[in-house]
A and B are shown apart, each in its own frame.
Chain A
């Protein structure tokens, strides 16, 4: 008989804890030993003593936190396995952002996969999601409602480029999450044929530089800094979503506000954001991708972490699988 995974892998106030390995995955508070799935701030927090993650996730943590990224930083490649107190820990691409990994835990013949955040749709700025067959799959549920079906990202980027051409007197202000979404949107509009310089809010520069150093082509990027409003007229400007509502955006002439996010699928959410041009592009799995993945990994048990778990758990029971809501603290589903 198989051991109930909940006896050795369970949520605690500090985050998901692997007892035999004595480490936490994406802890919400500083811990001794942390395994990190990806660089987003709600998953990778500063102040842990030792950190294990992919090379790129560690780089991103250093760009963001400098010294506070952790005392000991251990890089693990996709496909590589490290043994921690008898638990084999491996990494597989999650397709979420650059460096994002699913953490594979093998203990006493039982395999658990902690997927972190993931998506299945193609993204030229990171490695494609890899299906890892397992006994327990821990999934996110950010877009765990059947209304969330993301549009084709290339088509959405083409809409943005078309709007730039149709309204050349308006500065197009695109609100994006600084890590991942920003670089993916730049890469998408480049692929859609947009060759002009793209202007960046100061907060986005560092990570764009990092992506470029990792071989992701972003074309010419310029800081908004103190550009005159006339210079920015008709240009594409990227900034964190919060900057659009902030005093920072006042320098733009007649701005057209766009947001790139999976939340833009639902009109009330887009309106609440004040989006004039909602762009439905997400780095999280949409509903069909969640179901596809749950079926692909062939796990007997599915745990659902942050997001809309009610609907997904209902669906999991419809699929005759064992599902459980994992109440983990500290994850934000709004940041997307």
Chain B
């Protein structure tokens, strides 16, 4: 448990992706089975403990701590699990520290009535970091900024493998993953997923850049719309069906409507998950209501009905067709969907074109909010894992832009910890007193060069009006031309709007702040 607690503790304070990977790799290389398997499940959200420990823990602490001191402490620390981990009385004679697998095994068969004494015993044996990690583990919320995919990348890289190889078998293997580690360490064969509908690595596109088009031969390419939903993979073996996100997370439970609609589906297909009402695609914001949920209510399913618009087919039945060309795979896809009567399914149409000029016209003419742009796919290309060069291009519509005024700047982290690199910017509106005032409309930390960052940092330091910890308020003088993909209504922000993917497009050192955009202009852009 000590190594796991130290890992959790370090990860919680580490922001750089590479540094996180390094910490995890070191842990997985040096920790024995089955502990590292339990840790891997915890990091990939596969532990599913979520016992009602929160109340229990507070009850256990009660006899040891004065209620006034508890309240003052809780207020200061701001987190119950952390407060309890810090206030837990320290015993001189320490019990042996349990291993992560001992903890997991015990919890699997724990009776509710035994939970108190068992948990107390562990808390007695652990130090403050250990208690914190244990409480985070049993209450099911690690919140250390590690995605399941990052953890999978770490185990693959720790033993010199590609993350795609791990993803291919991930959903067919089980905790504590001893066969996975045996294979990674070269001690046994790769586990065979057999008939399980596992996730297959997705093929991704490169953005089309200036000069790319001229090098291509139009007759070798097809095009289709790039739909504005989330990329998913549907995998079924005729009886078992799974819906995976682009990063290989199993999101089936959040989409029971998809599971019902694709009963009997056999194959692996690639598509875009959308919310569709009466044949019309709803705005992305509607889809967002259904994302990042563990379960879903009947009302949710009814109000935000899910739909898949398919792009490609990887397996037809149990036949792997990834090496076939686009046209062949597309025929299989259409056959599969035609032969079965799946509701909530459609095929993304292939658009005819002769010259790339036709495409430019198409792309510029696409005003439908649900279209992000065009996809260009090479007909002869196989379905390849990852983001191979020269096979697929995405050609997004020009972003929307608005002129906004920098209001606050926050210090970055890691390499940027000495730079004010995260900017909150605002648009003008008429205040209650009739005066023009700025209201924050978004935050961005990309889109500028290192040289520009230095200049921006200097501007912040020279124009600071107030400080709040790592944040500085600045004189409202600098205008950013902000690029963003869409504007959505939001109840969480004072302005009532949220920008999608905002980034700094240009820094308008020349433009007076008074000439920046008004909030009304942004409100009109809501899809």
Contact = CB atoms under 8 A, between A and B. Distances in A.
B418 A245 contact: yes
Given A147-B73, A247-B418, A276 B13 contact: yes
A31 interface: no
Interface stretch (A95-103, A181-189, A254-262): A254-262
A249 B418 contact: yes
A294 B309 CA distance: 71
Contacts of A148: 86
B10 interface: yes
Contacts of A318: 66
Interface string B9-20: 010111100010
A322 interface: no
B82 interface: yes
Contacts of A310: 72
Contacts of B470: 245, 272, 274
A53 interface: no
A275 interface: yes
Contacts of A170: 19
A315 B77 contact: no
A145 interface: yes
A83 interface: no
B157 to A, nearest CB: 16
Contacts of B14: 276
Interface of B is mostly: helix
Contacts of B76: 145, 147, 266, 308
Given A147-B83, A166-B26, A272-B469, A256 B69 contact: no
B22 interface: yes
A44 B419 CA distance: 33
B90 interface: yes
Contacts of B90: 149
B26 A255 contact: no
A147 B12 CA distance: 19
Interface in B394-430: 411, 413-415, 417-419
Interface string B73-86: 10011110011001
Interface string A299-336: 00000000010110011001000000000000000000
A265 B83 CA distance: 11
Contacts of A271: 13
A146 B413 contact: no
Interface string B95-119: 0000000000000000000000000
A22 interface: no
Contacts, number: 92
B65 interface: yes
Nearest to A267: B82
Nearest to A268: B78
Given A276-B14, A276-B19, A268 B77 contact: yes
A278 interface: yes
Contacts of B419: 250
B226 to A, nearest CB: 36
Count class of interface residues, chain A: 35 or more
A327 B457 CA distance: 39
B208 interface: no
A32 interface: no
B299 interface: no
Contacts of A266: 76-77, 82, 86
Contacts of A267: 12-13, 77, 79, 82
A245 to B, nearest CB: 6
B258 interface: no
Contacts of B72: 145, 308, 310-311, 314
B68 interface: yes
B87 interface: yes
A2 to B, nearest CB: 30
Contacts of A277: 10, 13
A256 B414 CA distance: 7
A167 interface: yes
Contacts of B10: 277
A113 interface: no
B73 A314 contact: no
Interface string A136-167: 00000000011111010000000000000011
A63 to B, nearest CB: 28
A314 B417 contact: no
A257 B417 contact: yes
A278 B83 contact: no
A254 B418 contact: no
B26 A149 contact: no
A176 interface: no
A4 interface: no
Contacts of B22: 166-167
A276 B73 CA distance: 24
B126 interface: no
B123 interface: no
A147 B418 contact: no
B128 interface: yes
A276 B19 CA distance: 10
Interface of B: 10, 12-15, 19, 22, 26, 65-66, 68-69, 72-73, 76-79, 82-83, 86-87, 90, 127-128, 411, 413-415, 417-419, 457, 469-470
Given A146-B87, A254-B415, 15 more contacts: A145-B69, A147-B76, A147-B77, A166-B26, A167-B22, A170-B19, A244-B417, A249-B418, A250-B418, A256-B19, A267-B13, A267-B79, A268-B77, A311-B73, A315-B66
15 contacts: A147-B73, A147-B86, A166-B22, A256-B19, A266-B86, A267-B12, A268-B78, A276-B13, A276-B15, A276-B19, A308-B72, A308-B76, A311-B68, A311-B73, A314-B66
Q: Which 8 A-B pairs have the closest CB atoms?
A: A147-B86, A249-B418, A147-B73, A311-B72, A314-B68, A276-B13, A272-B469, A250-B418
